[in-house]
Amino acid sequence: MSKVNKTGQDGPFYKLDKRRQKAVMLLFEDELTDEEIAKSVQRSRSTLSSWKNEELFKAAQKQYRSLVVKTDYESKALKKLKELLEAKSEMVQLQSATTILKMAGMLSDNDTPELTRAKVRKANADARVAEARAKAMEDNGQDVVTALDAIMDKLTRESDKADSNK
């Protein structure tokens, strides 16, 4: 059985009695049948089945899984991701970087590499537009700026339309 850190003993797993906690641990290990698990916690197979349908038991399973993964695998996974940042394949490097950023809360699951690249392209285009407007105002005065604004607005609309068609 995996050992979990006993600090912060709150949440659904710790609200269960010892038999249910043991059942959660044995179910996580996935080495015994439900019949064997029930026998191990001195309950019937039908009792174990009813436990498995209880919301608290399900929440406890989720919490225990999270605790074990965090305790036993998180640091190993981060070390491997760090190694993969130096991989030969740029795709592997990108996936590793993306995973690390998601874990740090700096990137959402909804972001994709394509979406991120599109956001970067848009930000760069917006910066070029602002620079062009500033330069035009310095060089030619307000009349040219008004004409340039109209042209840039049209280009922006066309760019947005092209991006939405992808």
- Tens of pLDDT along 101-131? 887 777 776 767 777 778 778 888 888 888 8
Confidence (pLDDT) at 51? 96
H helices present in the chain, as ranges? 12-15, 18-29, 34-40, 45-53, 55-72, 74-84, 90-103, 113-140, 142-164
Q: Please, are residues 21 and 4 in contact by the beta-carbon 8 Å criterion?
A: no
- Tens of pLDDT along 70-83? 888 888 888 999 99
Determine how many CB atoms are found less than 10 A away from the CB of residue 109.
Answer: 6
Measured CA to CA, the distance from residue 71 to residue 2 in angstroms comes to: 9
Measured CA to CA, the distance from residue 46 to residue 49 in angstroms comes to: 5
Half-sphere exposure in the Cβ direction for 20 (13 Å, CA): 20
Measured CA to CA, the distance from residue 10 to residue 47 in angstroms comes to: 25
Confidence (pLDDT) at 144? 64
Confidence (pLDDT) at 157? 84
Confidence (pLDDT) at 32? 94
Q: What is the mean pLDDT of residues 147-163?
A: 80
With b meaning 16 or more CB within 10 Å and e meaning fewer, what string describes 58-85?
eebbebbeebbeeeeeeeeeeeebeebe
Alpha carbon 80 to its chain centroid, in Å, reads: 17
Give the residue among 15, 54, 64, 23 at the shortest CA–CA distance from 41: 23
Confidence (pLDDT) at 142? 62
- Tens of pLDDT along 7-33? 457 899 999 999 999 999 999 999 999
- Tens of pLDDT along 29-64? 999 999 999 999 999 999 999 999 999 999 999 999
* Residue 151 pLDDT class (50, 70, 90 cuts): confident
